[in-house]
Amino acid sequence: MEEWPTRWCRPLALSLLLVLAGTPVSLAVAAEPLEEAVKATFLYKFIAFVSWPQSAFAGPYSPFRICVEGTDPFGELLDRAVAGQNVGGRPIELWRRSRFDRGSGCHLLYATGSMDRLRGEPVLTVSDVDSAGGPAAGAVITFVLREDRVRFVIDAAAAQDNHLAISSKLMSLAVQP
């Protein structure tokens, strides 16, 4: 019978060796969920650095709504990121639908297509780069990958059009398009 250190050390050593060797399979499998987890966390964290007009809310304690349009790349990652959280005393609600239009009640909308239809609405629109590698139309914040890291670009004019004030701290963390 093997002694317990040997029984546990061999599999651990093999796992560590595979990780250190940088096997493409292990990195490819881990990269996508990590990217989506980072984006889900960013979505929640952006809220603290953006101010919405009071008119964006039905009342002082009405919920803050994060909306995900179309195919949801986050799944439970976003649910876990916002679980039990609130924004200025407002509980956070997650809404998922195939499409959100003007007056839908969203405060932050993540979508992959054009969001021009929401221009002028007090909605923080967030997207990934479009198929041409640029920001989606109408997006205030666009996620980009730079040096294998999730970063973001902010369109200050789009934020102003949507009556949102973005803090200088968040602006300083954004990268240039």
pLDDT score at 172: 96
Q: Is the dihedral of CA 148, 150, 154, 158 positive or negative?
A: positive
Residue 101 dihedral angles phi and psi, to the nearest 5°: -115, 180
pLDDT one-digit tens code per residue, 48-89: 999 999 999 999 889 999 999 999 999 899 998 899 999 888
Distance CA 137, CA 119 (A): 10
What pLDDT does residue 140 have? Answer: 97
**What pLDDT, on a 0 to 100 scale, did the predictor assign at position 113?**
85
Q: CB under 8 Å to 152, separation ≥6 — which residues?
A: 42, 141, 142, 143, 144, 173, 174, 175
Would you state the torsion angle of the CA atoms of residues 159, 162, 164, 170, taken in this order, to the nearest 10 degrees? -20
**Token pair belonging to 135:** 């920001």
Question: Which domains are delineated in the chain?
Answer: 34-173 (3.40.50)
Q: Which pLDDT value is given to residue 133?
A: 77
Sheet holding 149-154, edge to edge: 86-87, 90-97, 64-69, 108-110, 124-128, 141-146, 149-154
Regions of the chain where pLDDT drops below 70: 1-32
